[in-house]
């Protein structure tokens, strides 16, 4: 994998991965194909390749995250990059330094790749416009979480051998979900049909303009689904105005054992984690045969290796 494939420069010339909305279907497919090779690396006894040897990656997390940060850290280590983790509590952002200044300092320390998690939509765009380093969006507000979108696409493609024409149902808090948006953009580009399910406050009609269908009756859409992607449901602070209780949510939208019986036998059950067992998904269903939740985690590593490899290769020729 330390030899750059000949069609790489033709199919990929971005230094940043900010979202899936701006990518073409070909670019998305190219990342997925590149991830295939890295997935194979993960099965070897020696899981490390020298692709990013000598490069420095900064995990810059201005919003807490364990899974995504760990996955990026592992991915970077396997590519032989040096990794530094900076989180909001240890960064100087809390001392009143602006995002721009902090990022400039990272760049002055020769960071080649900055992986940014931030609570503000558009923060990765903001950095990418101002830095020569590669900027990888690890989730920005309710905007995008492109590597999660890609690993979901990868998992669907791996298990169903295609994405085109599949019926994908995304259930939960769509309005505030960056995972939902990246999935919508990616799935539509690759030809899937997307149905959003959730309370009308969290799956508002405005989303129809993005080219998806909306349903508030989960029982009606489950029988035709090829993939059901359940988002984590929280009922804290501002969400209290959006639905009355977790109990009512589970009653109306939870993937219970009863409801799981409506699914086709080959329908995939996905969840970006962390799971609320018994809330958006029944505990046994989460661990059942149709669940690919842990495959998503494994694939996340391969997809992030591919993204770091492709973007990291562009930033410093």
Query: In this complex, which beta carbon is closest to other proteins, that of residue 84 or of residue 121?
Result: 121
Contacts with 291 (C-beta within 8 Å, 6 or more apart), sequence order = 269, 270, 271, 285
Angle between helices 99-108 and 123-130 (to 10 degrees): 50
CA distance 84 to 58: 5
288 sits near other proteins (criterion: CB under 8 A) = no
The minimum distance between CB 40 and other proteins, in angstroms, equals 34
Stretch that binds other proteins, among 47-55, 138-146, 224-232, 267-275 (CB under 8 A): 138-146
The minimum distance between CB 118 and other proteins, in angstroms, equals 7
CB 308 within 8 A of CB 81: yes
Q: Which residue among 141, 232, 239, 246 contacts other proteins (CB under 8 A)?
A: 141
The minimum distance between CB 122 and other proteins, in angstroms, equals 3
Cis peptide before 274 (omega within 30 of 0): yes
CA distance 296 to 303: 10
Find the binding residues for other proteins in span 7-26 (CB under 8 A): 21
CB 215 within 8 A of CB 197: yes
The string of DSSP letters for 193-237 reads EEEEES-TTTS-GGGGGGT-EEES-HHHHGGG-SEEEEPP----G
121 sits near other proteins (criterion: CB under 8 A) = yes
The minimum distance between CB 221 and other proteins, in angstroms, equals 21
The minimum distance between CB 232 and other proteins, in angstroms, equals 16
CA 114 to chain centre: 16
Query: In this complex, which beta carbon is closest to other proteins, that of residue 204 or of residue 278?
Result: 204
Query: In this complex, which beta carbon is closest to other proteins, that of residue 143 or of residue 157?
Result: 143
Helix (H, G, I), strand (E, B) or coil at 2: coil
For 300, other C-beta atoms within 10 Å of its C-beta total 27
Closest CA relative to residue 28, chosen from 17, 40, 15, 41: 17
Query: In this complex, which beta carbon is closest to other proteins, that of residue 142 or of residue 255?
Result: 142
Stretch that binds other proteins, among 84-92, 155-163, 204-212, 245-253 (CB under 8 A): 204-212
161 sits near other proteins (criterion: CB under 8 A) = no
Find the binding residues for other proteins in span 97-116 (CB under 8 A): 98-100
The minimum distance between CB 307 and other proteins, in angstroms, equals 20
Handedness of CA 279, 283, 288, 293 (dihedral sign): positive
Q: Which residue among 2, 210, 244, 264 contacts other proteins (CB under 8 A)?
A: 210
Query: In this complex, which beta carbon is closest to other proteins, that of residue 211 or of residue 223?
Result: 211
Query: In this complex, which beta carbon is closest to other proteins, that of residue 143 or of residue 271?
Result: 143
What length does the chain have?
A: 317
Residue 126 tokens, joined: 């903001």
The minimum distance between CB 121 and other proteins, in angstroms, equals 5
Residue 243 tokens, joined: 């639905």
Residues that bind other proteins (CB under 8 A): 21, 98-100, 118, 120-123, 125-126, 140-144, 176, 178, 181, 204, 206-207, 209-210, 238
């Amino acid at each position: 994998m330390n030899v750059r494939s000949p069609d790489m420069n033709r199919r990929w010339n971005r230094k940043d991965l900010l979202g899936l909305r701006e990518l073409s279907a070909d670019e998305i497919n190219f990342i997925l194909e590149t991830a295939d090779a890295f997935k194979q690396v993960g099965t070897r006894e020696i899981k490390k390749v020298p692709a990013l040897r000598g490069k420095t990656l900064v995990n810059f997390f201005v919003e807490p995250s364990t899974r995504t940060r760990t996955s990026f850290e592992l991915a970077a280590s396997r590519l032989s990059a040096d990794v530094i983790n900076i989180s909001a509590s240890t960064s100087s952002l809390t001392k009143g330094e602006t995002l721009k200044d902090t990022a400039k300092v990272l760049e002055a320390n020769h960071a080649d790749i900055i992986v940014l998690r931030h609570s503000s939509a558009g923060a990765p765009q903001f950095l990418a416009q101002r830095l020569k380093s590669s900027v990888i969006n690890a989730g920005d507000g309710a905007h995008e979480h492109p590597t999660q979108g890609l690993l979901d696409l990868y998992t669907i493609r791996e298990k169903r051998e295609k994405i085109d024409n599949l019926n994908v149902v995304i259930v939960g808090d769509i309005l505030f979900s960056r995972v939902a948006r990246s999935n919508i953009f990616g799935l539509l580009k690759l030809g899937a049909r997307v149905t959003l399910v959730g309370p009308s406050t969290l799956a508002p009609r405005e989303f129809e303009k993005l080219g998806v269908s909306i349903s508030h009756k989960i029982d009606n859409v489950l029988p035709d689904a090829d993939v059901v992607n359940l988002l984590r449901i929280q009922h804290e602070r501002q969400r209290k105005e959006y639905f009355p209780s977790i109990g009512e949510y589970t009653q109306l939208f939870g993937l219970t054992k009863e409801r799981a019986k409506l699914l086709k036998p080959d329908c995939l059950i996905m969840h970006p984690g962390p799971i609320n067992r018994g809330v958006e998904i029944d505990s046994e269903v989460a661990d059942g045969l149709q669940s690919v939740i842990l495959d998503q985690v494994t694939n996340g590593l391969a997809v992030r290796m591919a993204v770091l490899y492709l973007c990291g290769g562009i930033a410093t020729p």
